[in-house]
Structure 1
Amino acid sequence: MKHLRILRKITITTGFNKFTASFVSYLLIASGILYFVEPQLHSYGDSLWFAFITATTVGYGDIVATTVLGRIVCVTLTLYGLIFFGCLSGVIVNYYSELNRKR
């Protein structure tokens, strides 16, 4: 719990919380789109799982996008996830670098 509070403080201090909110919002919206267009997804939970795995670029391969719209959503999710997680690690490293520099 302490680590989550620290992460929350970092995102608020750096203004990254808006980007986090937009990423989570897009993840939820993309899950809804995928749920309706992909025949392999039988519940919103499955589509949320698939969207998260796609955004993190893990890609277990248990579910595959087969429709054109589903593939477009997956490509945008992958790009958004790469940008988001790359920026998140950069923000965290920068925050701690600034703390060390001030000491």
Structure 2
Amino acid sequence: MSRHIKMFFNTNGFAYMIYASGTILLIGATVYSIAEGVNFIDSLWWAFVTSTTVGYDDISPESVVGRLTAMVLMLTGIGLFGALTSTITSFFMVSNDEEGEEYKEEIKELNDKISQLLMKIENMGRNA
């Protein structure tokens, strides 16, 4: 199970996207907290809600810096969810490709064995 989780996070560099998004989220929360005079916990809540594009409207930016920060967080959230979607798709496509290659190899081995058995049968018929 943990192997699949590691493979998932390594697909399309998704782990790096999460780290980058988390960093942007923390920076955005800090900037918003300073620019709007809001405590950091409320600012972190606002940054998370904004990045998910839910926007509960319980806290909204009034300053230009706060609004610019909101725009960056919205784009980050959209990018993160787009990356998640493509990572899920790529992960299952690669898994299916690997599985298909394993089956192709097994089929090739079985075909080789069948060919060897057919040659043995033909040789037995000639010698009889």
Smaller-chain TM-score bracket: 0.7 to 0.9
Tell me if structure 1 keeps the 8 A contact 2:30–2:43: yes
How far apart are 1:18 and its partner, in Å?
1.4
Counting only pairs closer than 5 Å after superposition, residues 21-32 of structure 1 correspond to structure 2 as 21-32=19-30
Matched, 1:52 2:48: yes
Identity across matched positions, percent: 33
How far apart are 1:88 and its partner, in Å?
1.2
How far apart are 1:12 and its partner, in Å?
2.5
How far apart are 1:25 and its partner, in Å?
0.5
Q: For structure 1, which runs of at least 5 residues remain unmatched after alignment?
A: none
Between Structure 1 and Structure 2, whose CA radius of gyration is higher? 2
Q: Distance in 1 between matches of 2:89 and 2:24?
A: 25
How far apart are 1:7 and its partner, in Å?
4.3
Tell me if structure 1 keeps the 8 A contact 2:11–2:87: no
How far apart are 1:14 and its partner, in Å?
3.6
Tell me if structure 1 keeps the 8 A contact 2:11–2:90: no
**Shift in CA distance, 69/30, structure 1 to aligned 2, threshold 3 Å:** same
List, as ranges, runs of 4+ consecutive aligned residues in structure 1 with deviation greater than 3 Å.
4-9
Q: Residue 36 of structure 1 aligns with which residue?
A: 34
Q: CA RMSD in A?
A: 1.9
Q: Residue 10 of structure 1 aligns with which residue?
A: 8
Structure 2 residue matching 1:45: 3-state secondary structure: helix
Matched, 1:98 2:94: yes
**TM-score computed with the length of structure 2 as normaliser:** 0.69
Q: Distance in 2 between matches of 1:89 and 1:66?
A: 33
Q: For structure 2, which runs of at least 5 residues remain unmatched after alignment?
A: 100-128
Aligned letter for 1:79? Answer: L
Q: Distance in 2 between matches of 1:6 and 1:74?
A: 34
